[in-house]
Structure 1
Amino acid sequence: MGNLSGKIAIVTGGASGIGYAIVQRLLNANVKVAVADLNREKLKEMEAAHKGKVIGCVTNVTKEEDIETLVQKTVDAFGGLDYAFNVAGASKAGAIVDQSEEDWDFTVDLCLKGVFLSLKHEAKYMKEHGGGAIVNVASLNAHVPMFYGAAYSSAKAGVEMLTKNAALELAQHNIRVNTILPGLVATPLTSGLTNVEAINDAYMERIPMRRAGNPDEMAGPALFLVSEDASYVNGASLIVDGAWAVSGYPDLSKFM
């Protein structure tokens, strides 16, 4: 995707997993990247490895002042902002009747509010400077519920609708907003499940391709959505799941 060369991007949650893979793809495409994460040491490591091309910003995406600072640092360091990838997310699982309000708020705030705040301030800059493209990372669970994942699934469904609403509002300002919905991806966040043989087998029964995706397989579609090849794609939800959506979600209740 050579048409990305010379552009400037923000990636939240960029120090690990899907976010990290997106950062690597962007760097390979000659894009300068502001990486937002809470992992201070990893951010320093990434800055040192890509001097002049990466800035690391310790960011809590649920804090509006952190997002405002992130956008300003990006502009100050690189002179603008063309793309944004809102990836940061995590979950505290629990059955609906047992889940604490604290765990619900943690999950929904991080996965939905964090995307809202990021999108708000990224788009505010883009609106005043000619436009841009934004990709939000939701999940297959925006469509498919899972045991003990009510907070996560609800938040990711919210991300998908937020994306559609943003596309509707921002198209007039030359800003495209799309989302990818990953299925099972092999990252540190999913290893607690997939490292258990019986649970991993239950997943494989539902994934026609019979394997988890890898983060780079999510990064490719994400970069496509900001590229000129997707210039008429706006408000779309791209499922990247090895055909999982055409099967179903494993019954994890028997493992809990």
Structure 2
Amino acid sequence: MHDFSGKVAVVTGGASGIGLAIVERLLKAGAKVAVADLNEAKLRELEEKSNGQVIGVVTNVTKQADVAALVQQTVDRFGGLDVAFNVAGASRAGAIIDQSEDDWDFTVDLCLKGVFLSVKHEARYMKDHGGGAIVNVASLNAHVPMHYGSAYSSAKAGVEMLTKNAALELAKYKIRVNAILPGLVSTPLTAGLTSVDAIYDAYMERIPMGRPADPDEMAGPALFLISEDASYVNGASLLVDGAWAVSGYPDLSKFM
């Protein structure tokens, strides 16, 4: 367990899944955390349980004013911003020839534009206050396409390249930017797929470790990337996929 006592973190998409697991790890390690999400009820619950270590900020990461306000409220409440985790994401699936423009825009705006705006405003503060570390959550699908996932896969590939570009531009300000690329993780967003036995079995055929990850198994690598143990890791993409990338991707088209 790393010690992040005295550190201030922002976590977008922090009310559930991977984001929540990161929040819980940060709190155990002594950090103060600004949790950004659209789930206001969950944010208030996290605040109530945190003994003053959490501020919940209702945030739409696709809106620049919301993201700027998130950073400002974090600084106002906790006195600074040292590290950030940009996790917020979701997908509206569809075949390329059928997908609506609205569904494409929803997915790409949330998964890619939301990360861009978050990095932009987090780094603006860090640049003038001694640096920091940022971790973006991309996906195995940044490398591996999937049926009905062109918007999501394209956005996550963009997150990986945005991460590399941010590392290139921000290193001179002592800001490190890295990405984790999760494989299949048991979260509310994947439950609609993994709850179907045939689809679950198709996934398991492709994952050498034979199971989905727990969200906490993403939080550990994410926190490593902001730690001093990763002080020379910058612009990296860390696959956390149970060896999935070396095996292939299931053909989900037969289930659609």
TM over 0.5: yes
Please give the secondary structure, in 1, of the residue aligned with 2:125: helix
Question: 1:240 & 1:17 partners in 2: Cα distance?
Answer: 15
Question: 1:88 & 1:188 partners in 2: Cα distance?
Answer: 13
Cα shift readout 1:7-61 (whole Å, capped 9, x = no counterpart):
0000000000000000000000000000000000000000000031000000000
- In the TM superposition, 1:8-157 aligns within 5 A as 8-157=8-157
TM-score (structure 2 length as normaliser): 0.99
Asked if 2 retains the 8 angstrom alpha-carbon contact of 1:3 and 1:228, the reply is no
Question: 1:179 & 1:5 partners in 2: Cα distance?
Answer: 23
Please give the secondary structure, in 2, of the residue aligned with 1:2: coil
Amino acid at match of 1:59: T
Partner of 1:210: 210
Amino acid at match of 1:81: L
Question: 1:253 & 1:45 partners in 2: Cα distance?
Answer: 39
Partner of 1:249: 249
Amino acid at match of 1:220: G
Partner of 1:163: 163
Please give the secondary structure, in 1, of the residue aligned with 2:242: coil
Cα shift readout 1:47-83 (whole Å, capped 9, x = no counterpart):
0000310000000000000000000000000000000
Cα shift readout 1:169-192 (whole Å, capped 9, x = no counterpart):
000000000000000000010010
Give unmatched runs, 5+ long, in structure 2. none
RMSD of aligned C-alpha atoms? 0.5
Asked if 2 retains the 8 angstrom alpha-carbon contact of 1:59 and 1:66, the reply is yes
- In the TM superposition, 1:153-232 aligns within 5 A as 153-232=153-232
Question: 1:38 & 1:94 partners in 2: Cα distance?
Answer: 24
Question: 2:46 & 2:177 partners in 1: Cα distance?
Answer: 27
Stretches (4+) displaced over 2 A: none
Partner of 1:239: 239
Please give the secondary structure, in 1, of the residue aligned with 2:184: coil
Question: 1:120 & 1:112 partners in 2: Cα distance?
Answer: 12
Question: 1:137 & 1:13 partners in 2: Cα distance?
Answer: 10
Give unmatched runs, 5+ long, in structure 1. none
Asked if 1 retains the 8 angstrom alpha-carbon contact of 2:74 and 2:81, the reply is yes
Please give the secondary structure, in 1, of the residue aligned with 2:46: helix
Amino acid at match of 1:79: G
Aligned residue pairs total 256
Asked if 2 retains the 8 angstrom alpha-carbon contact of 1:62 and 1:117, the reply is yes
Question: 2:86 & 2:96 partners in 1: Cα distance?
Answer: 27
TM-score (structure 1 length as normaliser): 0.99
Please give the secondary structure, in 2, of the residue aligned with 1:4: coil
Question: 1:50 & 1:206 partners in 2: Cα distance?
Answer: 39
